[in-house]
Amino acid sequence: ENGDFQWYYEGRNGWWKYDERSNAELETAFNSGEANCALLLAGALYNIDFQNMIQIRRGDPTRRRKVRRDTPTLVVKGIAGIKNL
């Protein structure tokens, strides 16, 4: 049951959707009141910090992106790096 909220991460000129599995993990962690959620994304480990709503690469905190949790209807660049047609 995934239809209520979608998680997004920042690109250069717009937002990307997280892949479905990562979105479900984020929702579970967020709704459980966790402070953050660890995810493997494109082969690297990241932490999503729910207080600051940022995604930070583990071991390289300079690699950070804003994240947002919103309705699934936002216009996006694509999903997890797969561009919209």
How near is the Cβ of 70 to ligand V3L at its closest, in Å? Answer: 15
18 binds ligand V3L (CB under 6 A): yes
Interface of this chain with ligand V3L, residues 25 to 84, rule: CB under 6 A: 41-42, 57, 63, 65, 77, 80-81
Nearer to ligand V3L, 3 or 42 (CB): 42
Determine the Cα–Cα distance for residues 13 and 24; give it in Å rounded to an integer: 25
Residue 6 near residue 25 (C-beta atoms within 8 A): no
Nearest by Cα to 70 from 32, 34, 23: 23
Determine the Cα–Cα distance for residues 44 and 58; give it in Å rounded to an integer: 8
The residues binding ligand V3L (CB under 6 A) are 9, 11-12, 16, 18, 41-42, 57, 63, 65, 77, 80-81
